[in-house]
A and B are shown apart, each in its own frame.
Chain A
């Protein structure tokens, strides 16, 4: 029976076209993912080469003043892009994956934007997560919206109902065949992705696949439930497309809008204005209080004292430090607000499967806001390490030539935040079961309403 059902389903022209289209979209998404990963790799190579050349040049131009070399010298930190990010580009196209900072005030450099074409950002990527989240449901809807209602409309359902010993089982098989076809397509695409993008078969990948399967199950659950309402095919189509619209356009956009107005970020502007003043106003003040504040922050440098020249690098970097120190409160508030945004989105995601899928795929692919925030935190630590390393050298005017500049290579940040499998997988499973169960009850109740 199952075999027959499968053959009659797959023989339809519409089904072949739908599967072909989605397969093609999937392939395109993999190519785009490949291009994205290549670009990320090239960016890293570029910055590695540039850092070597630039450090050498600055050292050559200013052989007697290490303070001046470090005024110019930039040090890069790369946010490692896992191969999975090729499947879910997330926010990685908005936020730079490379930070290049000098040891001067960090707040003035931390949020520097990447070069990107805003039209690309506005229209969005065709990455695998788009194909999964937007297009797979449409295929599922197309495959199932008239699966039973059409038989009813053509008058064949009565015959099926009379001839079948287990009508409920028949309905289940009807859906299972479709589920199997859709899941096979999904798994084929994921298999290809492993090859094309070189994804390691590790925990995050299997969770990624699991989340994808869960999302497909949610939609099958929804379609099953709608089919159980015993409406005409046209109504089913309208109802399902409306659900799609609400889950994929209206609710996410509405929640995003809510977050923008609930958690506005005037702190961003406050930080940037404050840090400028914090640093620059020190030029017009006596040196002693500035250096005293600096020593309060870094007591270990106290032995360097206060040089009595009009300009000296110790004072200069103390002033730069004040830009960061005096805007630290605003900067902290900004960070906190961003973390709130992230937490609230995830909380909403528990209730809305489309959000959950996108956020979790991004999280697994390390391309979400969470990863970006951890990268920013690591940038702060990286910057601090640089400062602590170079401060004593600057203050003692360490010879530029004695410093091994070629040892200052580009550093990489790999995000190792823990993954909670249950949190990732349970919500879609529960949604799938809920709607599947509701559908089941409906079918049982109205099984022989022909």
Chain B
């Protein structure tokens, strides 16, 4: 009986919505935008992937084609790491455009990840990104609000609400039935858009998608479905509480603007205001200061390296470092690399901690604002969030460190200790060693690592579902027909 009434009410919502000509126009518009977003997203994705792939290979070819030479020259030759777009970035580009795409990996120096799309963009970039995820996060809720504003308020205005209630339809049925109807209407957009997303996602895969990828996509479908349901219930609740359709509509539009436009920026601005970032100069100066304290291999009078030298000479029972059984400057550079990398990482982690502090307000507002909860979750699952980026950066840094140390090791064992005269030919080692360094390949995080990091958003989602259930329950007892 319950279910039947609800279904009846839902069908009524469906019919009312689709009787309106304007709705087809709106849906058509969204469809058109989605089509364009998919097409242009695919074009950019393919271009990016192709050029990234091409130059990654070229960089590797350049590395391998080096002739016999001194290993330290190769440590400076270095390598590049280019960030690969994730297949799901087609669905939700997330932060992608604001993240650097290429990093040069060389000895002694941690370079920045350069060439972000945003750095090469006009002010246009800041209006946002057109993607299927954007349509589902921003446009679909607004559409649901437009269509749902009148769901109960209109019945109240024209008096049918009283009739319905007097016929024994309960408030719970009324609220749920209307929400269900709206949800069905929403599905007519959500489902095709997710199908488009699925097609793009499959096209972006090389071969069959991995289990990890399938889980990611499945979770995305689940969360977007929940978000739609959430929006429908909110629309119906606001409509039920409002005297007229107009007030319901204005309240819902206000709510939408606050959650999607004002709150995200405001909460992030608060974080940035409270927790300042060091300037790049300050960051680099602090690292340099720590290195000088610990031991600067570029300072000829550095005490750390003096004592290192003395201890080596004593341990090996030699008079000068030239008599050591390995290349002394290779040893010094390995030590220097270890010290500077550890200090850099320590400072970099402090910086990341600062970012986290800046972000915490926006993260916490997920409890006030389901839009942000969904946005964060969606980015994380699509592999376009900050966590995935930091992971890429760390993999690149690990590669850089290993490459530099491998070259130092080669130098220690294959380069003679004797200093050459100014016109003698420089030492070199065989080029076969270049192959011992593998190419850089990044392994994306697994969904098992990504999801726990987003626990706040998942919990916020749960809290919202509970809250709405509670509100529906409460409303069912409080609401009146007039």
Contacts and interface: CB of A to CB of B under 8 A. Distances in A.
Interface in A206-243: 233-234, 237-238, 241-242
Interface in A54-105: 54, 61, 72, 90-91, 94-96, 98, 100
A115 B277 contact: yes
A31 B273 contact: yes
B123 A359 contact: yes
Contacts of A135: 262
B395 interface: no
27 contacts: A31-B273, A43-B281, A50-B281, A94-B119, A114-B112, A115-B112, A118-B99, A122-B94, A124-B265, A126-B269, A238-B249, A245-B142, A252-B124, A253-B127, A255-B124, A259-B122, A264-B51, A266-B47, A268-B115, A268-B120, A273-B80, A276-B77, A280-B76, A283-B69, A310-B424, A345-B122, A372-B119
Interface string B234-274: 00000000000110011001000100011011101100110
A365 B300 CA distance: 47
B272 A272 contact: no
A54 B94 CA distance: 39
Residue in A266, A268, A309 with the greatest tally of chain B CB atoms within 10 Å: A268
B167 interface: no
Closest 10 interchain pairs by CB?
A252-B127, A266-B51, A253-B130, A345-B122, A261-B43, A46-B281, A113-B112, A43-B279, A121-B98, A123-B268
Nearest to A76: B281
B266 A39 contact: no
A262 to B, nearest CB: 9
B139 A245 contact: yes
Contacts of B123: 90-91, 345, 358-359, 362, 368-369
B227 to A, nearest CB: 18
Q: From DSSP, what is the main secondary structure of chain B's interface residues?
A: helix
Given A265-B120, A268-B120, A50 B285 contact: yes
B413 interface: no
A264 B48 contact: yes
Given A123-B268, A265-B120, A280-B77, A115 B249 contact: no
A27 interface: no
B126 interface: yes
Contacts of B104: 108, 272, 276
A383 interface: no
A112 B41 CA distance: 27
Interface string B121-134: 11111111110001
A276 B78 contact: yes
Nearest to A112: B112
Interface of A: 25, 28, 31-32, 35, 39, 42-43, 46-47, 50, 53-54, 61, 72, 90-91, 94-96, 98, 100, 108, 111-126, 130, 134-135, 138, 142, 146, 233-234, 237-238, 241-242, 245, 248-250, 252-261, 264-266, 268-270, 272-273, 276-277, 280-281, 283-284, 308-311, 338, 341-342, 345-346, 354-355, 358-359, 362, 368-369, 372
Interface of B: 26, 33, 36-37, 40-41, 43-44, 47-48, 51-52, 54-55, 58-59, 62, 66-67, 69, 73, 76-78, 80, 82, 94-95, 98-102, 104, 111-130, 134, 138-139, 142, 146, 149-150, 245-246, 249-250, 253, 257, 261-262, 264-266, 268-269, 272-273, 276-285, 288, 298-300, 351, 354-355, 358-359, 362, 386, 389, 420, 422-426
Contact of B351 (A115, A259, A311): A115
Contacts of A43: 279-281
A338 B118 CA distance: 12
A118 B389 contact: yes
A237 B249 contact: yes
Residue in B52, B130, B351 with the greatest tally of chain A CB atoms within 10 Å: B130
A270 B278 CA distance: 32
B262 to A, nearest CB: 8
Contacts of B36: 254, 257
A107 to B, nearest CB: 11
B15 to A, nearest CB: 20
A253 B69 contact: no
B253 A237 contact: yes
A134 B138 CA distance: 15
Nearest to B125: A256
B41 A264 contact: no
Residue in A28, A122, A254, A258 with the greatest tally of chain B CB atoms within 10 Å: A122
Contact of B272 (A61, A117, A345): A117
B124 A115 contact: no
B362 A123 contact: yes
A310 B118 contact: no
A276 B62 contact: yes
A308 B423 contact: yes
B266 A111 contact: no
Contacts of A338: 120
A91 B121 contact: yes
Contacts, number: 264
Given A46-B282, A118-B98, A311-B422, 16 more contacts: A47-B281, A96-B280, A114-B112, A118-B99, A119-B386, A125-B269, A253-B127, A254-B36, A256-B124, A256-B129, A264-B44, A264-B47, A266-B51, A284-B67, A284-B69, A341-B121
Contacts of A146: 246
A269 B54 CA distance: 10
A445 B359 CA distance: 54
A354 B126 CA distance: 12
B72 to A, nearest CB: 11
Given A130-B265, A309-B423, A310-B420, A234 B249 contact: yes
Contact of A117 (B66, B265, B277, B282): B277
Nearest to A354: B127
B136 to A, nearest CB: 13
Contacts of B122: 91, 259, 341-342, 345-346, 359, 368-369
A237 B283 CA distance: 50
Contacts of B142: 241, 245
B358 A261 contact: no
Contact of A270 (B55, B77, B112, B300): B55
B120 A341 contact: yes
Contact of A119 (B73, B261, B358): B358
Contacts of B149: 234
Nearest to B359: A119
Contacts of A32: 269, 273
Contacts of B138: 249
A389 to B, nearest CB: 23
A259 B117 CA distance: 11
B254 to A, nearest CB: 9
A118 B253 contact: no
A300 B146 CA distance: 73
A122 to B, nearest CB: 5
B368 to A, nearest CB: 15
A329 B52 CA distance: 19
A115 B130 contact: no
A123 B264 contact: yes
A270 B52 CA distance: 10
A51 B270 CA distance: 32
Given A113-B113, A269-B52, A253 B62 contact: no
A269 B55 contact: yes
A345 B142 CA distance: 28
A250 B130 contact: yes
A359 B121 CA distance: 11
A225 B245 CA distance: 23
Contacts of B102: 268-269, 272
Contacts of A114: 112, 280
Contacts of B126: 90-91, 124, 358
